[in-house]
Structure 1
Amino acid sequence: MVYFLRMKIKITASQIQKQVLAPSMQQSIEILLLPLIELNTAIELELQENPLLEIVEDRSMTSQNPIEDLVNQNLKRLKDSAIDNSQPAYFSQEEEDSEEKEITRSAPLEEYLLQQLRIEITDLLDLKIGEFIIGNLDEDGFFRMSCEETALMLGLKSAEIVERILHTIQNFEPLGVAARDLKECLTVQAHFKFNDTTRDLICKVINDHLEELGRKKYTEIARKLKLPLTTVKKITQEIASLEPRPARKYRPTDTNIYVRADVTITKNSEGEYEVRINNDSIPHLRINAFYQNMLKQPNRTPEEIEFIREKVKNGILFIKSIEQRHQTIRDITHYLVAYQKDFLENGPLQLKPMILKDVADSIGRNESTVCRAINNKYVETPQGLFPMKFFFSQALSENTQDGKSISSRSIKEEIKTLIEEENKVNPLSDQDIQNYFKEKGMPVARRTISKYRQAMRILPSHLRKT
């Protein structure tokens, strides 16, 4: 006897619990991610989209707590209908008649990757790890940190989850992004681009003979792999078709990158450090009372009233997001001043280990919030202009003889200084640098020195010799 299963297609309703970010929270996160220059662009775009927002020309009228006063003022206008009937000069007839020019900006690589991340991943912890990885890509699109270092900075017990999220991001578009080195970048692309017959051989050449390939030693590669020379040259052409810099198409072609400090640290006459948010170039916003006055007009339709109320709400949230961004950066910088005072006094060699978790616990914020706040932000210090990420580094597993922890960033800076001042005829080897640190009572492993040197793109001693 034969039984047949009958299949039906039907629609059923089910209840599930899912965490979804509110629109106000999404906007706050987007504003927090923006550097100073892009924040001005975002404000211009918001002014175009929301006619109820206007720029406050006279800043002397603003109080010490402008956002709280603004929110209370506009809520009072809506509830009590206490509306100012004066029309501001911002919406003059001359400006209304002038042609509006739409402001556009191309999406950077990080924003494109974040869009893919939020589609692929829903778990909040996985999202936080993914945002950290994307926020720490270098100009070529590489992720130069190890999974162990990332887990340590995020306060995670295991690096396995970091490894899993990293592999997920590496499969995003552009392929090979977030790779830790050139071999991994090319291997990821090869797995997607080539079929099974050639993929394994190409990956073997990439992983085992990439250095020889760079020196064009095709005969030596053919001998080791026991392949015809023509096959090796064909493989070389296939590898040459891969992209060694995944972020190339998403980075500006102009190598001159102009940055503006988001916050400035200065030393006053009493020898104390002061923190100032550089918001002079950021226009102060408020809600236009002229449009709110339309709410009292009896001939307005419910749709018009709802539109005005919605724009008022969006405008207040946008202004509040900007102020929250300033406050978060201010709190992080105050912690930086207190913790990294030796750096401010003596320079990068005195940098202390500092991780996201310590800062987040101190200022009462989430680690992901701190990570977003320092992304693409710069701080002007008495020692010069630095990215805020510069101050975040983990401690080496090896400690000094006096029991103090060593910042990996300070070790990198000292290695860089030693190599810059070395004798070019007889350059320092990794072993020489290790001996230098050992004499200072700082036991740094030779493999650690080699890893840091490669991360800074410094050649080995035999290639630096002149």
Structure 2
Amino acid sequence: MQHSIRLTNVKGRSKMLMSMQAQLTQRQSMVFTPQLQQAIKLLLLNNFELSKYAETVAEENPFLEVEPPKAIRSLPLTEARNSDSSEFDSVAAIADSSGNTFRASVFKQVEDLILTPKGRAIGYALASHLETTGRLETPLEEIAGNLQVPLFEVEEVLQRLQQAEPAGLFARNLAECLKLQLSCEGIERARLFILIDNLNLIQSGSFVELRRKLQCNKEQLALALRQLRCLDPKPGLQLSNSDAEPIREPDLRTFKNDAGEWCVELNNATLPSIRVDEELGRRVRKLTSEDADKEFVRNALGTARWLSRAIAQRNETNIKVAAEIVRYQKSFLENGMQHMRPLKLKLIADQVGVHESTISRVTSSMMMQTPQGCFPLKVFFSTAIESDTSEEGASARMIREKIREMVHGEKPQCPLSDDVIATHLHGQGLRIARRTVAKYRRLDSIPSSSQRRRGYKLSAAM
């Protein structure tokens, strides 16, 4: 559709053309509706959190009943492929805000600090990536990409969430965490900022250099160090009262049936069963005459029906994701960590028919019992290392297990250096650099060879 206006200046014999155009264009965007946000919540919750959430909703909805678990839901691997994409496909990350847990406390503060629906959705996504220490280690660019929103909007929401309690939550590194906790002002605050920016000098004991940078004497430096020690490097633990997530029953279980086939099942011992009381709804509708009462009944019944369908879809998505992981990682399940195959989120997402971000959220919250032990689903994903013996490469987790075994079996008088470990791995056909060995060693909190040598000597002397 196009409209044009032509203007002519007769006296000056010049012409000027002005054009107004109305064009119809199409573009895709995500609308963060209340129901979408609820769907996002359900997808992220593990079985225990889902049960708590359903009980809380049922307390406020007279037409919703949470029933005891029924028969175990099992899915043979042959049924997991070619599934239809679900309504959870385009969602990001939200968790429950009911109950007295780390996640509940954080998500409650998101709701208190962020008022707009879109801002809350971004806040929920940031909170879902929060470590139990209170640190946000996932790059903001990655979160913005998953949500398909501009980076500056994520940064604005993060700045708001950094006002959460305890102070220091949502920091992206240790220095930012400590600075968020400072309540002093003036020269005292400035000195602490300098001190925090030079934590390496504290670690090395370079107090003369610190006094020069702070422009203070010994007593003033000692005071600043005492103030620094009062700050909490892991404020999130104040909300969970532990260094790790509590031990709980697995959400899924995988095993071999009598025919020798791998199966996956939901752990319905921790999974709520939802029932909508349609009969009660019909009776109440007949008895109500006020418009407000009719509206309440209609909304409550609609919410109950939607939640029942959404939980069923959430369970279906989770079990299909787990089934595809088991299908791919059979070798690990049968033979142990050294047989873990490299696996990317995209591969499972393509098989199940959902977005990668959906797989990321499911695998971060669910745990599965296997013959090798109980693991979060995210353990089954790792990058590939080039290998002479396999076209797909070797799993990074498998490499880390090999490094741990080498260090465990080394001679105390001659601990293995990173170069020697890399050489041994090369001999097994694994193309891995020394710096990668050092990186994996640090990830597993394994000291360097020189530190291990000192430790062995100290142990021998004691």
Answer whether contact 1:335 1:359 (CA < 8 A) is retained. yes
Name the structure where strand makes up a greater proportion of residues: 2
Correspondences of 1:23-422 after superposition (within 5 Å):
23-56=34-67, 59=70, 104-106=99-101, 107-108=103-104, 111-112=107-108, 115=111, 122=118, 127=122, 134-143=127-136, 171=162, 173=164, 176-177=168-169, 182-183=174-175, 185-186=177-178, 188-189=179-180, 193=183, 197=187, 202-208=192-198, 210-211=199-200, 213-214=202-203, 218=207, 221-222=210-211, 228-253=217-242, 257-295=246-284, 297=286, 300-396=289-385, 399-402=386-389, 403-422=391-410
| Structure 1 residue identity aligned to 2:180 | Q
Q: Which amino acid aligns with 1:23?
A: P
The verdict on how the C-alpha distance between 1:410 and 1:227 changes in structure 2, with shifts beyond 3 A counting, is farther
Partner of 1:423: 411
Letter in 2 for 1:443: R
Provide the secondary structure at the position in 1 that maps to 2:322. Answer: helix
Q: Distance in 2 between matches of 1:207 and 1:281?
A: 47
Whole-angstrom CA distance in 1 between matches of 2:156 and 2:344: 20
Contact 2:256 2:262 in 1 (8 A): yes
Contact 1:169 1:178 in 2 (8 A): no
Per-residue CA distance 1:202-239 (angstroms, 9 max, x = gap): 4554444x355347664575589886433432331232
Partner of 2:384, secondary structure, is coil
Distance of aligned partners of 1:115 and 1:300 in 2 relative to their CA distance in 1, 3 Å threshold? closer
Q: What's the secondary structure of 1:269's corresponding residue?
A: coil
Aligned counterparts of 2:277 and 2:136: Cα–Cα separation in 1: 45
Range 328-337 or range 115-124, more displaced: 115-124
The answer for the alignment partner of 1:461 in structure 2 is: 449
Cα distance change, pair 263–294 in 1 and its aligned pair in 2 (3 A)? same
Contact 2:191/2:214 (<8 A) preserved: no
Tell me which residue corresponds to 2:86: none
SS at match of 1:108: helix
Letter in 1 for 2:332: F
AA in 2 matched with 1:317: W
**Secondary structure, aligned partner of 1:361:** helix
Unaligned segments of structure 1, at least 5 residues: 1-16, 65-102
Give the TM-score, by structure 1 length. 0.70
Structure 1 pair 374–120 and aligned structure 2 pair: CA distance change class (3 A) = farther
| Matched residue count | 397
SS state of the match for residue 394, structure 2?
Answer: coil
1:441 aligns with 2:429: yes
Distance 1:324 1:54 in 2: 18
Give the Å deviation of 1:408: 2.7
Deviations 1:23-60 (A, max 9, x none): 22221211222111111111211221111122456958
CA contact (8 A) 2:32 2:117 kept: no
2:84 corresponding residue in structure 1: none
Amino acid at match of 2:387: T
Q: 1:263·1:276 contact (CA, 8 Å) conserved in 2?
A: yes
- Change beyond 3 A, Cα 1:178–1:23: closer
AA in 1 matched with 2:415: P
- Gap runs ≥5 in structure 2: 1-27, 76-97, 457-462
SS at structure 1 position matched to 2:430: coil
Give the RMSD, CA atoms, in angstroms. Answer: 4.1
1:275 deviates by 0.8
Whether contact under 8 Å (2:64, 2:275) holds in the other structure is yes
User: What is the identity, as a one-letter code, of the residue corresponding to 1:189?
Assistant: L
Q: Distance in 2 between matches of 1:166 and 1:359?
A: 31
Contact 1:52–1:288, Cα closer than 8 Å, also in 2: yes
Per-residue CA deviations over 1:364-395 (Å, capped at 9, x if unaligned) read 11222222222321011111100111122233
Structure 1 position 183, deviation (Å): 4.7
In structure 2, how many angstroms separate the alpha carbons of the residues matched to 1:193 and 1:171? 14
Q: What CA distance in whole angstroms lies between the structure 2 residues aligned with 1:321 and 1:240?
A: 47
- Displacement of 1:325 in angstroms is 1.3
Alignment check: 8 A CA contact 2:32 2:118 kept: no
Distance 1:226 1:110, change over 3 A: closer
Aligned equivalent of 1:5: none
Distance 1:341 1:357, change over 3 A: same
